Structure 1
Amino acid sequence: MVFTHDTELALQAAVELANSTDEPGEPLGSVRDLVAFYDRFGYTGRLDRDDAELRAVRGLRPRLRELLVADRDTAVGLVNTMLAEAQALPQLQRHDAFDWHLHAISADRPLADRMLVETAMAMVDVIRSDEMGRLGTCAADDCDDVVLDLSRNRSRRFCSTTCGNREAVAAYRARQRGEATG
Structure 2
Amino acid sequence: MRFDSHIERVLTAATHLVNRLTAGFDGGQPVPAPSGAALREAVAAALAFDGRPHTVRTADARTIAGVIPDVRAVFEAASHEETARAADLTNTLLHRTGARPRLNPDPDGSWHLHFHGPSDELGPGWAAGIAAGLAMALGVDEIGRLGVCSADRCDRVYVDTSRNGTRRFCSTRCQNRVKAATHRARQK
TM-score tier by shorter-chain length is 0.7 to 0.9
Q: In structure 2, what is the equivalent of residue 55 of structure 1? A: 62
Instruction: Determine the structure 2 residue equivalent to 1:81.
Output: 92
Unaligned runs of 5+ in 1: 178-182
Task: Give the 4+ runs in structure 1 shifted more than 6 A.
Answer: none
Tell me the equivalent position of 2:126.
Answer: 115
Between stretches 154-163 and 70-79, larger displacement belongs to 70-79
**1:38 corresponds to which residue?**
47
- Give % identity: 35
| Contact 1:15 1:148 (C-alpha < 8 Å) held by counterparts | yes
Question: Structure 1 21/77 Cα, relative in aligned 2: closer, same or farther at 3 Å?
Answer: closer
CA contact 2:117–2:126 (8 Å) conserved in 1: no
> C-alpha separation between the residues in 1 aligned to 2:75 and 2:18?
9
Give the structure-2-normalised TM-score.
0.75
* Aligned length in residues: 173
Question: Considering only aligned residues, what root-mean-square deviation do their CA atoms show, in Å?
Answer: 3.1
Bigger-Rg structure (1/2): 1
Matched, 1:166 2:184: no
| TM-score normalised by L of structure 1 | 0.78
CA offsets, 1:72-120, max 9 Å, x none? 2122222222222333321111246794222232584332322221122
Establish whether residue 18 from structure 1 lines up as the match of residue 45 from structure 2.
no
Q: Which AA in structure 2 matches 1:20?
A: R
Return the offset for 1:48: 5.5
Q: What whole-Å deviation, never above 9, does each CA across 1:14-35 have from its counterpart, x for those lacking one?
A: 01111114879x9x94645544
Given that residues 10 and 41 in structure 1 are in contact (C-alpha distance below 8 angstroms), is that contact kept between their aligned partners in structure 2?
no
Matched to 1:55, the amino acid is R
What is aligned with 1:129? 140
Q: What amino acid maps onto 2:98 in structure 1?
A: Q
Could you tell me how far apart the structure 2 residues matched to 1:81 and 1:4 are?
24
Query: Displacement, 1:163?
Result: 0.9
Say which structure, 1 or 2, has more relative contact order (CA 8 Å, 6+ apart). 2
Q: Distance in 2 between matches of 1:98 and 1:16?
A: 30
- 1:67 to 1:112, Cα distance in 2 relative to 1, 3 A: farther
Are the counterparts in 1 of residues 10 and 133 from structure 2 also a CA contact under 8 Å?
Answer: yes
SS at structure 2 position matched to 1:139: coil
- The DSSP-based 3-state class of the residue aligned with 2:166 is coil
